[in-house]
Amino acid sequence: MVFATNQNEVQINFFSWLFSRMQEGGIVIMSIVLICGFIVLLLTGRSLLYVKNINPKLTKMIILINSIGLFALVAGVFGQLLQLINTLDYLEFRGQVKAEELAAGLKFTILPTLFGCFIFLISRFFTIMLNWLKPHHKVD
């Protein structure tokens, strides 16, 4: 029973940590990237059914997974640029800033790009996996 309680605490701590990181990275952009990640997972699961049934829509699904992964990456970079502008405006307004404050501001600007890169890598991995599983027709 103690193990189950600790496991629930770990799950709660993970989700609270994830939500706090999403707030730090900008909730709108990070939510868009997260939704892209869910869509990539959904399309990959659907594509695995197409592989099993030898459906011609598989190539279209692979292209769609690639496009959504790339969109997540670009959205992350866009979010980073927006936050970088806000951070630099704030630092300019404050005048004298310490190196720790500058480092903290830059750390928060990197989060959307990091999350977008993660979703992009997952989408590329699934694309490689689906291309490997895709049945190829023999050409005479």
What average pLDDT does this structure show over 83-111? Answer: 85
pLDDT at 15: 77
The answer to whether residue 66 scores a pLDDT higher than 60 is: yes
Residue pair 101/91 in contact by the 8 Å Cβ criterion: yes
For the chain, what's the residue count?
140
Q: Is residue 140 part of a domain?
A: no
pTM: 0.80
- Asked whether residue 53 is assigned to any structural domain, the reply reads yes
134-to-55, 112, 128 alpha-carbon distances in Å: 10, 32, 10
Q: Which has the higher per-residue pLDDT, 18 or 140?
A: 18
Number of domains in the chain: 1
Give residue 12's domain range.
Answer: 2-133
pLDDT at 95: 80
Non-local CB neighbours of 40 within 8 Å, separated by 6+ positions = 65, 68, 69, 72, 119, 122, 123, 126
Which of 25-34, 40-49, 90-99, 126-135 has the weakest average pLDDT? 90-99
* Residue pointed to by tokens 């997260």: 34
The tokens describing 122, both together, are 């997952």
Query: Where are the alpha helices (H) located in 26-57, listed in sequence order?
Result: 27-53
Q: How confident is the model at residue 140 (pLDDT cuts 50, 70, 90)?
A: low
pLDDT at 74 over 80: yes
52, two tokens: 């099993």
Report if residue 30 sits inside a domain. yes
